[in-house]
Amino acid sequence: MADPATMPLIEVDNLGVRLNTSRGPAQAVRDVSFALKRGETLGLVGESGCGKSVTALSLMGLLPDSAIVTGSVRLDGRQLARLPDADYCKLRGNRISMIFQEPMTALNPMHTIGHQVAEPLRRHKKYSAAQARREAIALLDRVGLPDPARRVDAYPHQFSGGQRQRVTIAMALACEPDLLIADEPTTALDVTIQGQILDLIADLVEERGMSMILISHDLGVIAENVQRMMVMYGGTVVESGPTDEVFRRMGHPYTQGLFRARPKLGARKGTRLKTISGTVPELADLPMGCTFADRCPLVIDECRTALPPMVDVGPGHVVRCIRTDVSMAANVGALPA
């Protein structure tokens, strides 16, 4: 048996997810592999429909019953993929937790927030009602909700979006999970609140030694909050590596395009945002070769024949592209050192 200190907390190997959509089966995720040690943070970045959320939901075992999951997901060496739902229920909220995108709808309007935060404690840790309530107040205090002892009996509609997101964070952290999955936790919030919530999550992750998978479409959020990052496109990982390294030497034309497409401070008035031409491929009808081939400025015939292999371009930095010699020579999107 491997040493628990060095053994990865979660190990995803060759994960594939096939969803049954109204337009036929769609390969939402394919060939995703990564490992995360205790205390490590990983960012998943990509545009809508690239498979980020499906990857997260498959780690949680929350995909629809019709979804077909292949490959393996191991938590502390224990296989999670295709685990029966009853067993998964004991892990969810206890060892793996999730924060959702939309705090306005992620809380049940019919229950008080105290009840909702105390719920996982009562179920997983078998706390008494009074114990769970005390702990819920302490948690609400920790996530920065003002006057938690009084507001613990308030209903979700009596809070603002940022406050509700704090409540969902308290809910997710109640049982001190080993792994926290944050699926676009700040997308629905005001920009001023975004920073506060991300700081709070970062503090809590560090304080409790949790691992975190942060999902976002915002490169800025990823750059500031995670140690390692993976860029997803069309259901596959196209680039993966330490965050600093990826931002310094972006290897995949898609990552470079994504970086160029973000708005810049101090740009001249009337400057158009750069875009990546074309649209995301249909997951139900993916091309045979590189999923980005149709939109890639560097595409050659060879790109369209088979899915490119992962190419090593630096320490722990891999790119799924056969044209890294060109893309990285141009050194597009490099940050000033």
Does 93 interact with other proteins (rule: CB under 8 A)? yes
- 321 near other proteins, judged by CB under 8 A: no
Q: Per CB under 8 A, does 124 bind other proteins?
A: yes
* Site membership for other proteins, residue 94 (CB under 8 A): yes
Distance CA 25, CA 38 (A): 35
Question: Strand, coil or helix: what is 214?
Answer: strand
Q: Per-residue x/- mask for other proteins, residues 128 to 167, rule CB under 8 A?
A: ---------------------------x-x----------
Contact with other proteins (CB under 8 A) among 65, 192, 272, 315? 65
Site for other proteins contains 168 (CB under 8 A): yes
In the complex, what is the shortest distance from the CB of residue 141 to other proteins, in angstroms, rounded to a whole number?
Answer: 20
Least distance to other proteins, CB of residue 277, Å: 33
21-29, 82-90, 283-291, 323-331 -> range binding other proteins (CB under 8 A): 82-90
How many helices (H) and strands (E) the chain has is answered by 11, 12
3-state secondary structure 81-99: CCCCHHHHHHHECCCEEEE
What minimum distance in Å lies between the beta carbon of 248 and other proteins?
A: 35
Q: Of 334, 297, 337, 333, nearest to 321 (Cα)?
A: 297
Q: Which stretch binds other proteins (CB under 8 A): 7-15, 27-35, 109-117, 310-318?
A: 109-117
Between 86 and 337, CB nearer to other proteins = 86
Specify the stretch interacting with other proteins by CB under 8 A; choose among 40-48, 120-128, 194-202, 215-223: 120-128
Site membership for other proteins, residue 120 (CB under 8 A): yes
The enclosing H or E element of 44 equals strand 41-45
| Residue (204 or 313) nearer to other proteins, CB | 204
Measured in whole angstroms, how far is the alpha carbon of residue 317 from the centre of its chain? 19
Q: For residue 87, give Cα distances in angstroms to 45, 74, 80, 189, 249.
A: 30, 14, 9, 34, 42
Which span (11-19, 105-113, 220-228, 261-269) binds other proteins, by CB under 8 A? Answer: 105-113
Question: Strand 179-183 relative to strand 211-216: parallel, antiparallel, unpaired?
Answer: parallel
Q: Which is nearer to other proteins, 15 or 174 (CB)?
A: 174
Q: How many Cα neighbours within 13 Å face the side chain of 135?
A: 22
Burial group, residue 329, by CB count within 10 angstroms (0-12, 13-18, 19+): exposed
- Assess 111 for contact with other proteins (CB under 8 A): yes
In the complex, what is the shortest distance from the CB of residue 125 to other proteins, in angstroms, rounded to a whole number?
A: 11
Contact present, 294 and 287 (Cβ < 8 Å): yes
* Full DSSP string of 226-279: -SEEEEEETTEEEEEEEHHHHHHS--SHHHHHHHHTS--TTPPTTPPPP---S-
With H, G, I as helix, E, B as strand and everything else as coil, classify residue 186: coil
Binding residues for other proteins, rule: CB under 8 A, are 60, 62, 65, 85-86, 89-94, 97-98, 100-102, 105-111, 119-120, 123-124, 155, 157, 168, 171-172
